C-alpha cells in the first residue's frame, strides 16, 4: 500500500464513521456535510445515485477542504472512479468487487473499498487490492460475523454497511471493524427534506460517541 493510500485508510479509521449520502440533489450536499462535520463525522461518501454527484464532490472539496475526507460510492466502472477522484474524492466505494475499478483507484493513489459478502469474496477482494473491504449488505449479519471472519483472517480491514445505526455501531467496532458506513440512520431523508440539520448533527454526535466508547472499552 502506498503511503498516500495508507494515510487515507488511517484517516478513515480515525474518523470511525463514514456517512453514506444518497441525496435527491447535489444542492443538498453542502448543508448535510456541514451538519455532519459539526457532529464530528468527517468521512463523507457521496454515492453516484445522487444527481450530479461528481460536481457535488467538487463543491464539497472547495467548501470544506481537508476538514472533510471525501469519497464516492456506488462506483461500477473506472471512468466514474477517475472523474470523482479528479473532483476531490480520496476513497472509492463499490457494492461489488471490480478489478478495473481497484486498478483505476490505485493509479490515482486513492483508497479502494470494494464490496463483498462471503468469507471467500472478502478474502478475494483483499487479495485483489482492496484497502478496506465493505461488507455489504451487513443488515442481516450482525457484528458476530466480523468476529468469526477475523479470528482466522485477522489481517483484513472491514467496514460494515447496511443496518448500521447509533445503537449498534459500537458493537461493530468492538467486533473488529475499521470503521462503519451509515446511510439513512445517520442522514434521515425526512430530516434533509425538512432542513433539520440539528437532527443530523445530533445523530453524528451519537455515532461518534458510540465509536469512541467502543474503542475505549476495547483497550
Q: For 3-212, which CATH superfamily applies? A: Aldolase class I (3.20.20.70)
Confidence band, pLDDT 50/70/90 cuts, at residue 17: very high
Dihedral, CA atoms, 146, 152, 155, 156, nearest 10 degrees?
A: -40
Q: What proportion of the chain, given as a percentage, has pLDDT over 90?
A: 97
Confidence band, pLDDT 50/70/90 cuts, at residue 1: confident
Q: Which residues pair with 18 in a beta bridge?
A: 43, 181
Q: What is the mean pLDDT of the chain?
A: 97
Report the phi/psi class of residue 129: left, alpha or beta, with left for phi > 0 and alpha for psi in -120 to 50: left
Supply the Cα-derived Rg of the chain in whole angstroms. Answer: 16
Q: What is the pTM of this model?
A: 0.96
**Does residue 134 carry a catalytic annotation?**
yes
pLDDT at 72: 98
Phi and psi at residue 7, to the nearest 5°? -65, -40
Q: Where are the domains of the chain?
A: 3-212
- Cα 95 to Cα 33, 146, 206, 207: the distances in Å are 22, 18, 26, 23
pLDDT at 219: 75
For strand 111-113 and strand 133-135, is the pairing parallel, antiparallel, or unpaired?
unpaired
List 24, 28, 45, 205, catalytic entry: 45
Confidence band, pLDDT 50/70/90 cuts, at residue 90: very high
What average pLDDT does this structure show over 67-79? 98
Q: Are 42 and 57 in contact (CB under 8 A)?
A: no
**Does residue 45 carry a catalytic annotation?**
yes
List 28, 79, 134, 157, catalytic entry: 134
Q: What is the pLDDT of residues 134-185, one digit of tens each?
A: 999 998 899 999 999 999 999 999 999 999 999 999 999 999 999 999 999 9
pLDDT at 140: 86
Amino acid at each position: 500500500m502506498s503511503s498516500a493510500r495508507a494515510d487515507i485508510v488511517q484517516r478513515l479509521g480515525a474518523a470511525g464513521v463514514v456517512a453514506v449520502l444518497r441525496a435527491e440533489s447535489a444542492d443538498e450536499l453542502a448543508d448535510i456535510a456541514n451538519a455532519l462535520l459539526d457532529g464530528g463525522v468527517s468521512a463523507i461518501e457521496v454515492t453516484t445515485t445522487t444527481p450530479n454527484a461528481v460536481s457535488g464532490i467538487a463543491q464539497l472539496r472547495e467548501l470544506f477542504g481537508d476538514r472533510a475526507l471525501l469519497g464516492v460510492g456506488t462506483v461500477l466502472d473506472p471512468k466514474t472512479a477517475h472523474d470523482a477522484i479528479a473532483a476531490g474524492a480520496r476513497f472509492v466505494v463499490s457494492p461489488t468487487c471490480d478489478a478495473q475499478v481497484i486498478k483505476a483507484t490505485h493509479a490515482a493513489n486513492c483508497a479502494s473499498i470494494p464490496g463483498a459478502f462471503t468469507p471467500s469474496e472478502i478474502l478475494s477482494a483483499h487479495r485483489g487490492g482492496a484497502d478496506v473491504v465493505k461488507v455489504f449488505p451487513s443488515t442481516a449479519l450482525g457484528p458476530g460475523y466480523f468476529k468469526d471472519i477475523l479470528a482466522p483472517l485477522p489481517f483484513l480491514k472491514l467496514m460494515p454497511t447496511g443496518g448500521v445505526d447509533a445503537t449498534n455501531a459500537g458493537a461493530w467496532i468492538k467486533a473488529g471493524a475499521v470503521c462503519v458506513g451509515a446511510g439513512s440512520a445517520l442522514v434521515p431523508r425526512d430530516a434533509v427534506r425538512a432542513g433539520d440539520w440539528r437532527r443530523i448533527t445530533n445523530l453524528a454526535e451519537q455515532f461518534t460517541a458510540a465509536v469512541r466508547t467502543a474503542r475505549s472499552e476495547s483497550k
